[in-house]
Chains A and B, each alone.
Chain A
Amino acid sequence: MPEGASPYSKKVMDHFVNPRNMGEIADATVVADVGNPACGDMMRLYLKIENGIIVDAKFKTFGCGAAIATSSMLTEMLKGKSLEDAKSISNQAVAEALDGLPPVKMHCSVMAEEALLKALEQYNRSQEQKPESFEV
């Protein structure tokens, strides 16, 4: 990638141009949608959870450079984490891992955090609803 001037950090541009974990997980444990096209951004987060560990995370995002980069960084941070550890990942942590975002773009990192919280919530709900007889 040429070293063009950009309003974003090098890390943001790297995750934007070469997004990690972009795509779908066919047998995802949970899929969470946040945002909407009217607001100009929407993120779909796929998590595969096994024994309380996030073994895989992928995303699809419609949005600006910051939205795509934070989606990419979030999935990187989630992979291999326990659900307990994943819960404590904040939008600030994602933004910091990207060497910061312009103030006007911080809401994009909030979208990533919201996607994570929604996915974890969905997962917890699905666990509660599981009939006991199905437990192994």
Chain B
Amino acid sequence: MQPDAQRDIYFDHAATTPVDSRVVEAMLPYFAERFGNPSSHVHSKGVEANQELDQSRASAARLINAPAETIIFTSGATEANNLAICGYLEANRERGKHLIISEIEHYSVINLCLKLRREGYDLTLLPVDKLGLVHPDKLHAAVRRETALISIQHASSEIGTIQNIKELAAIAGEAGVFFHSDAAASAGNIPVDVVDLGVDALTVSAHNFYGPKGVGALYLRPGAKLEAQIIGGFQERGYRSGTENLAGIVGMAKAAELALAEMPQRREHLTVLQQRLWNGLSQKYEFLHFTGHPSERLPGHVSFWLEYIEGESLLLFLNVYGIQTASGSACASNMRGQDEHDLAASHVLTAVGVPAEYCSGSLTVSMGKDNTEDEVDYFLQIFPQVVERLLAMSPLWADKLKGKNPYQ
């Protein structure tokens, strides 16, 4: 097989998306021309910036059907998750010291809550089923009198599963517990309506829907109390100080407008690509196992694991052929770490019951609005060649062919 040097296929939209050219265009004036500080209320540049900030807030709010004044712009989803959790706990200390999150949260939730546990909070990590769903009964059973906060992600970037947040938030609501959802992977890609979902707080990330990196937002239900985590000059109603990243915020707003307007077409297109890839892989190998929910999943998202093959070598080989994907393999987890102790198999994969010895063979293919059927076909043509190549190298596969169980 000859690598096609012309190919540059990006199938890792769960990691980040390209900034839409219309978003770039909308942002450009806010660097050198309309550079004013929204806090400079008196002069023209400042007034102009402040008006733009208001309009952008309205656009970002519309994406999740929220009133404009409920939006707090942040530097991204990590900050929004930290603000929601720490900010709520600090402002509501009388609420008790018990937290509930799912086992498959993003690191910005899970690592933060593990830190809070070290500091004295009691933490419940809710298990998920094999498809990645949190069961309402399990949440119901976990809620206690001293539960202060529940945080459950809307959709998983790794296995694609979309949670039934409406049902989970209702359980929290009945118990009078603050409910936050990290919608970084879902907002802008599928409909997210904070009123319908019934959440108290929700995290949005711009770079997951063709907006710029370095900007996100936290929705906070009117009336909810939150303690600022970045203290300074009262920007964002005092919830998040620091001169606003106006160009980024304008970009996020434009990306939100486009996402809202184009969502039906994008989803339809991505569903076609997803089905095409799914069909092409599903009958191919008995040792290929899909992860996540078959229907309640992010559009354009296909994830699976393979026996006998290690994920990083799969990624590297696919990259040689111009295809960029992701893996939950420990070996691919932290290339910049100090030593092998910085490597760990994905907590999401182990949570959905993938045995640790198989996590290493996982692959996440997340397609975007600009991918084509031709690219999916190219993937389906290259993938078996890469798999065969790696099987030929694998001592585990050699054992399997000789009738031995290589995993024993």
Contacts and interface: CB of A to CB of B under 8 A. Distances in A.
A95 to B, nearest CB: 13
A106 interface: yes
Interface string B318-346: 01101000000111101111111011010
A107 B393 contact: no
Given A2-B3, A4-B320, A104-B343, A19 B331 contact: no
Contacts of A64: 310, 312-313, 316, 329, 331-332
Nearest to B322: A2
A42 interface: yes
Contacts of B329: 40, 64
27 contacts: A13-B320, A16-B313, A19-B393, A22-B392, A33-B395, A37-B358, A37-B360, A40-B310, A40-B357, A41-B310, A41-B360, A61-B394, A61-B395, A62-B394, A62-B395, A63-B331, A64-B310, A64-B312, A64-B316, A64-B329, A65-B313, A65-B316, A68-B313, A103-B338, A104-B338, A104-B343, A107-B340
How large, as a class, is the contact surface on chain B?
A: 35 or more
Interface in B232-280: none
Nearest to B331: A64
- Provide the main secondary structure of the chain A interface: mixed
Interface in A85-135: 102-107
A71 B316 CA distance: 16
B32 interface: no
Contact of A62 (B336, B340, B396): B396
Interface string B381-408: 0000000000011111110000000110
Interface in A2-29: 2, 4, 6-8, 13, 16-17, 19, 22, 24
Contacts of B393: 19, 22, 60-62, 68
B5 interface: yes
Closest 7 CB pairs of A and B: A64-B331, A40-B360, A64-B312, A44-B395, A60-B395, A104-B337, A38-B357
Given A37-B357, A62-B310, A64-B332, A17 B320 contact: yes
Contacts of A13: 316, 320
A73 to B, nearest CB: 14
A136 interface: no
Contacts of B310: 40-41, 62-64, 67
B199 interface: no
Contact of B335 (A22, A42, A43, A102): A102
Contacts of A40: 310, 329-331, 345, 357, 359-360
Given A60-B394, A60-B395, A37 B407 contact: yes
A104 B319 contact: no
Contacts of A67: 310, 313, 331
Interface residues of A, number: 36
A90 B320 CA distance: 29
Given A4-B320, A62-B309, A64-B313, A42 B396 contact: yes
Nearest to A61: B393
Contacts of A6: 316, 319
A40 B5 CA distance: 30
B308 interface: yes
Interface of A: 1-2, 4, 6-8, 13, 16-17, 19, 22, 24, 33, 36-38, 40-44, 60-68, 102-107
Contacts of B340: 104-107
Contacts of B308: 62
A102 B335 CA distance: 7
Contacts of B114: none
Contact of B339 (A4, A36, A103): A103
Nearest to A16: B316
A75 B398 CA distance: 19
B290 interface: no
Contacts of B360: 37, 40-41
B290 to A, nearest CB: 20
A1 B4 CA distance: 8
A64 B329 CA distance: 9
A110 B144 CA distance: 49
A6 B317 CA distance: 11
A107 B341 CA distance: 10
B356 interface: yes
Q: Which of A19, A64, A106, A107 has the most CB of B within 10 A?
A: A64
B317 A17 contact: yes
Contacts of A33: 395
Contacts of A41: 310, 331, 360
Contacts of A66: 331
A63 B360 CA distance: 8
Q: Which of A13, A61, A65 has the most CB of B within 10 A?
A: A65
Given A2-B320, A104-B340, A104-B342, A43 B357 contact: no
